[in-house]
Amino acid sequence: MSERPVSLLVLVSGEGTNLQALLEAEKRGALAGGRIVAVAADRPCYGLQRAESAGLPGYLTAHSEDILDAARREGAEGLVLAGFLPIIRGKVLEVYSGRILNLHPSLLPKFGGKGMYGLGVHRAVLEARETESGCTVHFVDSGLDCGPILLQRRVPVLPDDNPQTLADRIRREEHIAIVEGTALLCRRLHADRTFAGGYTDYSLDSYCWASRDSMKQTREEAMKRSAISSFTL
């Protein structure tokens, strides 16, 4: 019997190109058993249209509580922030501790934190005269862009770059990074199903995420992987 897919809620705020990369990766079996079950957005956007085209439920989530409600309704085991701008707070961080990934358009810990999103990140990189930039997939915690790093992809900063050209170069790497990071998360979730005793009901009202020790181990292993899972062009 094949193992049940890992159910994922993907969160977006804009065009949804990273969501599209995930959808295409799922079709070719590149998410390590992951399956996108729904898409949530904090505003009307093309990402929700992509969800509709893929036959997936779409949610408008104005608050962190809405995200938790949508995740519970869809039985999501992991959350993937694929270009999602709002800061997640509250109970969803506790319920999904160790199971939320975020994609950030810089090489964290550089150029993260308040105000570091969109073209503003790339403008700051250019103003700092950095010679390289890239993107980071990391776990989400109660801080801002400071959760354990899962992987990074790097690109050169060229002498004639402007914020848009740098953003375009990094975006191509984002599409790869979000797929690789999501696959790593799904492998961890598959492993922890076995550790937790092989639960058959994965609705969040009945599923136990192993233990605090298991979550701590997940985060520690992710930090170790960040040292060996970085990719350079």
Catalytic residue among 104, 122, 138, 175: 104
Specify if 1 maps to a domain: no
Residues 183-210: what's their mean pLDDT? 59
Number of domains in the chain: 1
Supply the pLDDT for residue 219.
40
Token pair belonging to 65: 């509580």
CA dist 137 and 130 (Å) reads: 20
Q: Which domain holds residue 41?
A: 6-232
The CATH number for 101's domain is: 3.40.50.170
Annotate the chain with three-state secondary structure.
Answer: CCCCCEEEEEEECCCCHHHHHHHHHHHCCCCCCEEEEEEEECCCCHHHHHHHHCCCCEEECCCHHHHHHHHHHHCCCEEEECCCCCCCCCHHHHHCCCCEEEEECCCCCCCCCCCCCCHHHHHHHHHCCCCEEEEEEEECCCCCCCCCEEEEEEEECCCCCCHHHHHHHHHHHHHHHHHHHHHHHHHHHHHHHHHCCCCCCCCCCCCCCCCHHHHHHHHHHHHHHHCCCCEEC
Token pair belonging to 177: 């990074």
- For residue 205, pLDDT beyond 50: no
Q: What is the mean pLDDT of the chain?
A: 86
Specify if 101 maps to a domain: yes
CB 155 within 8 A of CB 131: no
State the pLDDT confidence band at 178, using cuts at 50, 70 and 90.
very high
Token pair belonging to 3: 């193992």
Residues 217-222: what's their mean pLDDT? 42
pTM as predicted: 0.83
- For residue 213, pLDDT beyond 70: no
Chain segment 61-107, per-residue pLDDT in tens: 989 999 999 999 999 999 999 999 999 999 999 999 999 999 999 99
Residue 50: CB atoms within 10 A of its CB come to 20
Least confident range of 11-15, 28-32, 153-157, 200-204: 200-204
Residue 165: CB atoms within 10 A of its CB come to 14
Chain segment 113-157, per-residue pLDDT in tens: 999 999 999 999 999 999 999 999 999 999 999 999 999 999 999
Least confident range of 74-88, 89-103, 159-173, 209-223: 209-223
C-alpha angle with apex 85: 18 to 41, nearest 5 degrees?
A: 70
Nearest to 107 by CA among 181, 21, 15, 170: 170
Percent of the chain with pLDDT over 70: 82
Specify if 64 maps to a domain: yes
- Answer yes or no: 104 catalytic: yes
Specify if 47 maps to a domain: yes
Least confident range of 12-16, 71-75, 117-121, 227-231: 227-231
Q: Which contacts (CB < 8 Å, 24+ apart) does range 192-199 have?
A: 192/218
- For residue 197, pLDDT beyond 70: no
